[in-house]
Amino acid sequence: MASETPSVESTLKQAAAYFRDKFGKDPNLAACAPGRVNLIGEHTDYNEGFVFPMALPMVTVVVGSKNDAGKCRVLTKAEGVDAPHFIEFPPHSEATPLSPGTPKWANYFKGVIANFPGTVPAFDAVIVSTVPVGGGVSSSAALEVATFTFLQQLCPDDGQNVKTMQKVLACQKAEHDFANVPCGIMDQYISTMGKASHALLIDCRSFEGRLVPMTDPDVVVLVTNSNVKHELNGSEYPTRRRQCESASKTMGKKSLREAADLTPDQLADFKDHIDSETFRRIRHVITEIQRTEEAAGVLENGDYKKFGQLMVASHNSLRDDYEVSCSEVDQLVEAAMEVEGVFGSRMTGGGFGGCTVTLLKREAVDKCIQNMKNRYTGTATFYVCPASDGARSLQL
């Protein structure tokens, strides 16, 4: 009943075939990077808190080779992106600097080129992705990190010396500058550094990560795409980020992470100094940072019941205090939680649609999916997802 995710190998073959059809030659370079699902820790990354994602088996593949045309020529076959799907532009240089524009999907690609630490020559490339676009599982970071990994092969003299965090921050900057999304580092970090059979607790202040095994064969992660699309470069996401930054200053803190040790009573002391909406925003962030740090230890100890309770508390906080959920996603979470064998469920990603993530017993998957289908007023897509590896080069 869950959808099958195409293998990386089959996606690579498909990309190579599209490349031959478009450019009349074989590509000689290939790279991929995964999307991600965040188990818990939402809207905490840009507040220097903790996040707890895992890399997904869905990937974006970029194949290509240098050309003599003097232009970068790029075709995307990703579903759900805006037209045109084929673009041409001169290589990035001081004389011809790249800038954002339309189509929107190309901004992520161009932004990485503009932030790559080296001179990128003219090339041909094809993009194929199995990461749902607008689903809250970071199709944008998958494209950015896959592009950077491709450029590391295209420009080996420059690319081989790039440190991992330098790569993560360059891809994040591409999203800030070219897509106008002031995201934290989580998506690019996990897409770069994910490891199979592990989730990754990321400290977004120190940039340190701790791998947490997910090896119990009887417990799985179900990702459910509501197929309600979100746009994070609208006003809602930047508004919440500004509210958090303003509240931090009012509280005399560099970031809300520094307020994460406040008790509910101590937090309530700030109510008279912050408007009620902003207070709810910071209450979510502070309690979410606390939940996420606790959740990593709970999962490591195999206490799935407690982990599930933290997931539900996270969803309720995102729905009521941060106000980034929606009725469709709420329906899916409620339907999942009605099924025996489900430990926890919550919205995941930036919000306003997208996906839910559910931790449950393997034996409960079919019943859970059926109940979600019966209860949901839309048409959802379901994926049972093992924790997977991060970005890598591929052999053609």
Known active-site residue 272: no
Unique residue bearing structure tokens 């939940």? 291
Q: Kindly report, residue by residue over 23-46, the tens digit of the pLDDT.
A: 999 999 999 999 999 999 999 999
Please provide the size of the chain in residues.
396
Most distant pair of Cα atoms in the chain: their distance: 67
Classify domain 8-207+388-393 by CATH architecture: 2-Layer Sandwich (3.30)
More confident residue, 156 or 230: 156
What ranges do the domains of the chain cover? 8-207+388-393, 214-384
Among residues 68, 124, 157, 187, which one is catalytic? 187
User: So what's the pLDDT on residue 4?
Assistant: 84
d(CA 125, CA 303): 45
Confidence of residue 65 (pLDDT cuts 50, 70, 90): very high
User: So what's the pLDDT on residue 230?
Assistant: 64
Q: Is the pLDDT of residue 194 over 70?
A: yes
| Of 332, 396, 321, the residue nearest 368 (C-alpha) | 332
Q: Kindly report, residue by residue over 270-312, the tens digit of the pLDDT.
A: 888 899 999 999 999 999 999 999 999 999 999 999 999 999 9
Residue 105 Ramachandran class (φ > 0 left, ψ -120 to 50 alpha, else beta): alpha
The number of beta carbons lying within 10 Å of the beta carbon of residue 227 is 18
CATH H-level superfamily of 214-384: GHMP kinase, C-terminal domain (3.30.70.890)
| C-alpha distance from residue 29 to each of 14, 95, 140, 203, 385 (Å) | 14, 27, 21, 33, 27
User: So what's the pLDDT on residue 232?
Assistant: 57
